[in-house]
């Protein structure tokens, strides 16, 4: 690993000019996906992984979610905000019935009996 000052400079550059990242926009190789998974299991931080992979922190987080490394599909209680997804997913509701004026009449919201 690089010394602390070089690491800070790399993080600063990554956050202030993400266009300068070498791997920005590239597809993830299977090897990189495996390495990310291993690093995640070894409790390596998001920022450190971003510096190593030369990708944004957002790209790292998206890949972690895509690989389901938090095991949200196996452990529904680990869902964001510990909530169950809303039933109504029509184009008007967009998963938030509180914002939908048609929520009470929406056919997607009907309980199956």
Largest separation between any pair of C-alpha atoms in the chain? 62
Percent of the chain, pLDDT > 70?
61
pLDDT computed for residue 35 by the predictor: 96
Mean pLDDT of 101-105: 61
**Are 40 and 91 in a shared domain?**
no
What are the residues whose beta carbons fall under 8 Å from the beta carbon of 106, sequence distance 6 or more?
88, 90, 92, 93, 97, 100
Is residue 113 over pLDDT 50? no
Q: Give the span between the Cα atoms of 38 and 24, in whole angstroms.
A: 21
**Are 60 and 41 in a shared domain?**
yes
**Are 12 and 64 in a shared domain?**
yes
> Whole domain around residue 104: which residue ranges?
83-113
**Are 71 and 28 in a shared domain?**
yes
Select from 34, 60, 30 the least CA-distant residue to 46: 60
Determine how many CB atoms are found less than 10 A away from the CB of residue 86: 16
**Are 53 and 73 in a shared domain?**
yes
Domain count, the chain: 2
**Are 28 and 43 in a shared domain?**
yes
Q: Give the span between the Cα atoms of 65 and 46, in whole angstroms.
A: 12
The per-residue pLDDT for range 36-48, each reduced to its tens digit, is 999 999 989 999 9
**Are 48 and 11 in a shared domain?**
yes
The per-residue pLDDT for range 14-44, each reduced to its tens digit, is 888 877 777 888 899 999 999 999 999 998 9
pLDDT computed for residue 81 by the predictor: 56
Complete DSSP assignment for 28-58: PPHHHHHHHHHHHHTT--HHHHHHHHTS-HH
Q: Which residue has the tokens 């509701």?
A: 93
- Beta-sheet strands, E only, within 1-113: none
The per-residue pLDDT for range 45-73, each reduced to its tens digit, is 999 999 999 898 889 999 998 998 887 66
69: tokens are: 């490394």
**Are 88 and 42 in a shared domain?**
no
**Are 98 and 48 in a shared domain?**
no
- What's the pTM value of the predicted model, to 2 decimals? 0.58
């Amino acid at each position: 690993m690089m010394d602390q000052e070089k690491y800070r400079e790399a993080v600063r550059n990554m956050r202030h000019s993400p266009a300068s990242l070498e791997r920005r926009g590239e597809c993830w190789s299977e090897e990189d996906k495996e390495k990310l998974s291993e690093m995640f299991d070894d409790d390596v931080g998001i920022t450190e992984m971003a510096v190593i992979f030369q990708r944004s922190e957002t790209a790292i987080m998206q890949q972690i979610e895509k690989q389901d490394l938090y095991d949200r599909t196996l452990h529904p209680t680990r869902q964001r905000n510990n909530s169950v997804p809303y039933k109504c997913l029509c184009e008007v509701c967009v998963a938030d019935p509180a914002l939908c004026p048609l929520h009470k009449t929406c056919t997607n919201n009907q309980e199956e009996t």
